[in-house]
Amino acid sequence: MSIPMKTEKLYDTDASCKAFTATVISCEPSEERKGLYAVVLNKTAFFPEGGGQYADTGTLQEFKKDCETPLSGAVRVRDVQVSDDGIITHFCDGAVTPWAQVTGLLDWEQRFERMQNHTGEHIVSGTVHRLYGLDNIGFHLGDRDVTCDFNGELTDEQLREVERVANRAVWDNVEVLCEYPDPATLPDLDYRSKLELTEDVRLVTIPGYDVCACCAPHVARTGEIGLIKIVNSEKAHGGTRVHLLCGPWALDDYQVKQANIMRIVDLTSTPQEETAEAVEALQAQNGHLTHELSVAQVQQADIALSFLKEREAAGADPSGNLVVFLPSLETDALRALANGGRDFCDGVFVVLTAGEKDLGEDGQPKSYRYIATSKDLPLSRLAKEFNAELNGRGGGRDEMVQGSFGAPIGDIVSYFRNHYWSVEG
């Protein structure tokens, strides 16, 4: 069977091609993709994974010999890959007949959104290079996110300027040119590229904004991008990673953020332009209240310890275990009470507080957080026993263990009241 050295790339010459007719050169069960078939066509509009962009998906519909009557059941194209020798393989969830005619149909909305975002990335990267002399050293176009890594730092002010210039390119609606220049003239051309290329160099030119080597399909004119929005940036690889969104991805992002900001407006009764200050004020107030609550809880723990001291002074029997329950204690106050209470009994001293906020049907907490301490007992071993009995989980050191119990509080108290462990046992 003769397979062409290269698959004709329809997306190279016509990125707007949504459907095409091709001849099946081969179809075999895939060895690397179990359950899929590897299909090679003489030509394709499906872009294979490459250059930081995922492969196109869609369907292949086989026709009878009259080339007009479709056979039932189109197969899904799940992935597309290109080999070093230029053969493009479509990985499909069903088989097609070798040498049959098929119509390929792209998932066009997905393809077009990727073209919008990829062309937008070219404009942003070209603008960063032209204004600030930085190179794009990494690019990824995901399902809903575009990232560009630049080999230097970019300030927020610089990125705002890049965004303004990039959207000016959209409004100018300039033509996007994709071509293979004469190899003889290539050394004299000024273009961006992450690799040292010498042959089959495809240049994507956006006049006045960028010239870059790229294998991917792009929109015909910059106006088709719709909108370019830089949504975030961070330090990465010694430089700056920029997150951007274009077209409907940017619109969706804006709508989510607008919905959230309007919720904050309603909750704080604050004008939209003052929401940041309102949230800062709430955070400060919350911090103050949290501190006051922490102080109150420590005082609550101190009161409980004072009660234990009075109990001891009154001659209470220290033998056995001791359980103390306080409905609402944070970890610091819980630990302080556990540490202070270990000397008031010879067994296990257990501090309980309500676990989950939701209550059970009986109005009691569904679980209880605990910290247990002891003067002499090996709690790291004993914890396994009482966790098993009380639907608990957790652990720690011999002198202190912590975790949660899923049993009712009455069962917890009864268990520790009726159990005693010796140092030897």
Residues 216 and 121 in one domain: yes
In a domain, 210, yes or no: yes
Query: Residue 384 and residue 391: Cα distance in Å, rounded?
Result: 10
Residues 94 and 170 in one domain: no
Residues 94 and 153 in one domain: no
User: What is the pTM (predicted TM-score) of this model?
Assistant: 0.74
In a domain, 351, yes or no: yes
Identify the CATH number of the domain in which residue 337 sits: 3.10.310.40
Residues 231 and 155 in one domain: yes
- Domain total for the chain? 3
From 91, 106, 121, give the residue that closes a domain: 106
The predicted pLDDT at position 260 comes to: 93
Residues 332 and 396 in one domain: yes
Residues 122 and 57 in one domain: no
In a domain, 298, yes or no: no
Residues 141 and 224 in one domain: yes
From 202, 218, 253, give the residue that closes a domain: 253
First-to-last C-alpha distance (Å) of the chain = 79
Residues 245 and 140 in one domain: yes
Which residue range(s) make up the domain with 385? 317-417
Residues 22 and 55 in one domain: yes
The predicted pLDDT at position 169 comes to: 98
pLDDT tens readout for residues 77-128: 999 999 988 999 999 999 999 999 999 999 999 999 999 999 999 999 999 9
Residues 124 and 101 in one domain: no
Low-confidence ranges of the chain (pLDDT < 50): 1
Residues 119 and 88 in one domain: no
Identify the CATH number of the domain in which residue 138 sits: 3.30.980.10
The predicted pLDDT at position 251 comes to: 97
